[in-house]
Amino acid sequence: MNSTTHLVRGQDLSLQVTEVGQGEPIVWLHGSGPGATGMSNFGGNLPAFDGYRHLVFDLPRYGGSDRVTIDEPLVPFAARNVVAVLEAMAVERFHVVGNSFGGSVGIKIAADHPDRVRRLVVNAGGARPQDASGRSPGLALLWGYMEKQQPTRDDMAEFIDAMVVDKSLVTDRLVDERYEASLRTHPELETLPPVFGDLLPDLPRVEAPTLLLWGREDVFLPIERALVNVRGIPNAELRVIPGCGHWVQVEAREYFDAAVRRFLDEAAP
């Protein structure tokens, strides 16, 4: 697929956007794992969405986007700047597909701009339950990597291994690519929780039809978190995928592509 990459100024910084195809816009927002970028998260899914215009973002401090110091909760900061970039690109209405951190950013955008978001897909992300305590085993690995001065390739292999149930997906090539990418941008985050922000008050303000996808064996954001989000968003549907971890778009790619494509196509005029 032919693509172009732009560095577009938002409100507080410039974000890198990879643009593919023509049609109704889909905004793709990646997760917070070390070395993550929009295309590393979703590049393998785009061919299943021909007929759409794909706007694949690198979020603040990730990939090719600016690495400014952020001294406020990360989710609203990222959401505000993604919207500012879309305004600069004259993109008025769009679908949002977000993975993990990107899903949380998508919820914030949908809550603050209900007139712009047509449909929202959240792949394991969103608000944290009020009674949640401590870090999940997966998030402990993620933040442990982020906090290290010099993370190793073995650290990356352990992190990716926890992302999936099917360990055959954890190839040497994948580990090498993500490890090298993470070293180019390490550390993506300079501050630690509560850096992400509380999304619970935002859930009832999401008006867009919303599809929540969750791997049943997710050790980063366990499915208890899915229930909080599906109960909080008025027009939300939850699908739990058995035998799948945090990377639904990778580990259950065929299911993800078909379900998301059908959900977005339903909004066609």
The catalytic residue positions are 246
- As a whole number of angstroms, the distance between CA 57 and CA 53 comes to 13
- As a whole number of angstroms, the distance between CA 254 and CA 164 comes to 15
User: What are the residues whose beta carbons fall under 8 Å from the beta carbon of 20, sequence distance 6 or more?
Assistant: 1, 2, 3, 46, 53, 54, 56
Q: Contact 150/241 with Cβ under 8 angstroms?
A: no
In 3D space, the residue among 11, 110, 124 whose CA is nearest the CA of residue 70 turns out to be 11
